[in-house]
Amino acid sequence: MDLDRRQFMGYFTLLGLSGTLFPGALWAQTQGRGPVTRLHIEAAAELAGLSFTEEERALMLEDLNNLQQAYERLRQLTLENALHPALIFNPLPRGFVPPRPSGPPNRRPRPRPIAPVEVPSDLEKLAFLTVAQWAHLLRSRRVSSEAITRMYLERLKRYDPVLQCVVTLTEELALEQARQADREIRSGQYRGPLHGIPWGAKDLLATRGIPTTWGTILYKDQVFDYDATVVERLREAGAVLVAKLTLGELAWGDVWFGGTTRNPWNPEQGSSGSSAGSASAVAAGLVAFAIGSETLGSIVSPSSRCGTTGLRPTFGRVSRYGAMALSWSMDKIGPICRSVEDCALVLAAIYGPDGRDPSVIEAAFDWDRRPDPRRLRVGYLARAFEAEYPTRRFDEETLRVLRQDLGLELEPVQWPDLPVGAMRFILDVEAAAAFDDITRDGRIRQMKRQGRNTWPNTFRYARLIPAVEYVQANRLRTRLIEETARLFERVDVIVSPSFGGNTLLLTNLTGHPCVVLPNGFREDNTPTSITFIGRLFGEAELMSLAMAYQEATDFHRRYPPRFLPQTG
C-alpha cells in the first residue's frame, strides 16, 4: 500500500473527518471537506485492499456524496455514551440453554463456617479480613459497621498518597450507610453477608450526586443523578461505599488524570489496568472488596499484578446500566476480592436482569459453599503450559496441586484454531464509536496518554476500519463461539496461564467467565497468577474448582508488607 499524503487526507474527506486529526497536517486545517472525488475512492479502496475500475469509481460518486451528507445529519444528534446499539451481542451458541432459576435470586448466600476471629482493640489489625470473616463478626455484633468503615477510611487517607488509587473519598455517604447498617443489624434486619461491609467502586460506575470521572480530565466534573445497577444492588445488600477508585483513562491502563495507580507489592510499578484502583485498594487492605470491569483484561491484569482474586462473570450475567460503555459486545462487571468465596458472595448480590441493560440474560447462580471439585471435568491448555514464559514454573506447580493434592484428572485441550488476534479490532471499532464525539471535536488531545497504544490513536485509526470488516469479524466470532462451546461439552472448567494461549482475548470475545487468583511469588516478592475459565453461566462450578485450589494453597493469605498494620 502506497498512499500519498493527498490521497490519505482525501480518505478523511470521504469519511467526513478533518485533517486536523493529525497534528502537524497544518495545510489540511485550512481545507473544507468538499465533495467526494474519484481520488478519495481510490485511497479508500487501497486502504481496504480493494481495486475498482475508473468506471466503477464514477458510478460510486453520487452515492458516496449522499452518504457524506447522511453522516453529517447523524452527527447533528447527540448520542450519549449510555445509548446502546440496536444490535445486542448474545454469547449463547445455538442450542445452549442457560441454567434456569427455580425461584428468585438468592442474594443472601451464607458464608462457610470459619474459625473464630479475635477482635483486637486496634481494629486495623483486621484490615485484611475477607468479606466472609467480616460478615461473621458483624452478624454476631462483635464489631460495628461504623468502626470498620472509619478504619478503612483512615487507611485510604493514609495510603492513597502512595498508591494513587482513590479518585473520590465518599466519607459522608459511607458513615451514613454504616450507621444505618448498625441500626438494622441491632434490630434484627440483617440483609446478608455484605451488610455493613465497606467497598470501593471503579470510577466508571455512576453514583448519584458523586463525581464519576471515567479516569480522565475530560469528565473530571461529571455527576450523574442516578446510581448504576451494581451500586444500587450493593446498597440494597447493605454494603457501605467508601471510595470511587481509579481506572486508567477511559478504561485503559493504570494512568489516570491524577497520576499512576501503584502496585502495593512494589509501588515502583503501576498496578496495571484498567481496574487499577480496585485491585490496588483490595491488595493493600484499604477496602474489604471492590468492583471492577473487564473488556480485555481489566480484571485479570490488575488482579494478577496486585495478587487479588478477580471474577470476570459471563457476558450478560451482570447489568452494565450506569457503567461507562467502551465496547457494548465485550464489557463485563465483576468483583475483585481477597478470596474466591468473597467473589461468590458479591456476585450473588449483583447478578441478574434489571430491565435496563438489554444484554443481561436470566440464568441461575447456585453457589455451593461446600465444593467438591472431584465431580468436575477439568481441562488444561497443554500447549500454553509447555511454552517458554517467565512464570511457567508457578503454573506447573498449580497443575501439580490440582493433580496430586486435589486428585483431579486433567484433560489436555486446545482452543479453536481460528485467527483470534485478527478479531481484536472489534473492540477498537466499538470504543471509537463510544467516544466518537471527543475524536471529532479534538478533545482527545487533552488526555494524559498519547502516542501509540493509547485511546487517542486507537480512536483515530479505528475510523479507517471498514464497516464490512467489522461485520465479517463478528461473523467469524460466531464460529469461535460455536467451536468453543463444543470444547466445553468435554470439560466443565479449563485451566490456563493468565496471559498465555490467547486465552484472554478469546474468552473476552466469547463471553466466558473466569477467575484469576495468585499462584506464587517471584524473587522480588511480586505475585503471579493462574486463570480458571468456566462454561457460559457456569460461575458456580468454576468457583468451586478455584476455591478448592485456593484452599489448598496460601498465596491469597499473603499481604504486601508495607501495608500491614503495625504490631506491638
Q: DSSP letters along 316-375, please?
A: TSB--TTBPPS-TTT-EEEEEESSHHHHHHHHHHHBB--SS-TT---------SS--GGG
Q: How far apart are CA 346 and CA 352, in angstroms?
A: 12
CATH 3.40.50.720 fits 125-419+473-563, yes or no: no
Residue extents of the structural domains in the chain: 1-77, 125-419+473-563
Whether the Cβ atoms of residue 179 and residue 146 lie closer than 8 Å to each other: yes
Strand pairing of 378-381 and 410-413? Answer: parallel
Cell numbers at 404, concatenated: 496430586
Q: How far apart are CA 470 and CA 418, in angstroms?
A: 16
Q: What is the reported pTM?
A: 0.94
Q: What is the pLDDT of residue 224?
A: 98
Cα–Cα distances in angstroms (integers) from residue 488 to residues 40, 376, 416, in the given order: 47, 12, 11
Q: What backbone torsions phi and psi does residue 78 show, to the nearest 5 degrees?
A: -90, 125
Q: What is the pLDDT of residue 164?
A: 98
Cell numbers at 41, concatenated: 475512492
Closest to 484 measured CA to CA, from 514, 510, 515: 510
Q: What backbone torsions phi and psi does residue 148 show, to the nearest 5 degrees?
A: -65, -45
Q: How far apart are CA 292 and CA 203, in angstroms?
A: 9
Q: What is the pLDDT of residue 401?
A: 98
Q: What is the pLDDT of residue 111?
A: 86
Q: What is the pLDDT of residue 423?
A: 98
Whether the Cβ atoms of residue 299 and residue 209 lie closer than 8 Å to each other: no
* H helix intervals, 528-568: 539-552
The burial class, CB within 10 Å (0-12 / 13-18 / 19+), for 46 is middle
Whether the Cβ atoms of residue 288 and residue 341 lie closer than 8 Å to each other: no
Closest to 312 measured CA to CA, from 333, 296, 328, 327: 333
Q: What is the pLDDT of residue 24?
A: 30
Q: What backbone torsions phi and psi does residue 201 show, to the nearest 5 degrees?
A: -110, 130
Q: What is the pLDDT of residue 245?
A: 99
Q: How far apart are CA 166 and CA 76, in angstroms?
A: 37
Cell numbers at 379, concatenated: 481441562
Closest to 252 measured CA to CA, from 326, 309, 166: 326
Point out the residues that are catalytic: 202, 274, 298
Q: What backbone torsions phi and psi does residue 427 show, to the nearest 5 degrees?
A: -60, -45
pLDDT (tens, 9 = 90+) of the chain, 568 residues, equals: 455 555 555 555 556 565 444 333 322 332 346 788 999 999 889 888 999 999 999 999 999 999 989 999 999 999 999 999 999 999 999 999 999 998 888 898 888 888 889 999 999 999 999 999 999 999 999 999 999 999 999 999 999 999 999 999 999 999 999 999 999 999 999 999 999 999 999 999 999 999 999 999 999 999 999 999 999 999 999 999 999 999 999 999 999 999 999 999 999 999 999 999 999 999 999 999 999 999 999 999 999 999 999 999 999 999 999 999 999 999 999 999 999 999 999 999 999 999 999 999 999 999 877 768 889 999 999 999 999 999 999 999 999 999 999 999 999 999 999 999 999 999 999 999 999 999 999 999 999 999 999 999 999 999 999 999 999 999 999 999 999 999 999 999 999 999 999 999 999 999 999 999 999 999 999 999 999 999 999 999 999 999 999 999 999 999 999 999 976 5
Q: How far apart are CA 247 and CA 528, in angstroms?
A: 21
Q: What is the pLDDT of residue 47?
A: 87
Helices H / strands E in the chain, number of each: 18, 15
Q: What is the pLDDT of residue 113?
A: 84
The burial class, CB within 10 Å (0-12 / 13-18 / 19+), for 541 is buried
Q: What backbone torsions phi and psi does residue 46 show, to the nearest 5 degrees?
A: -65, -40
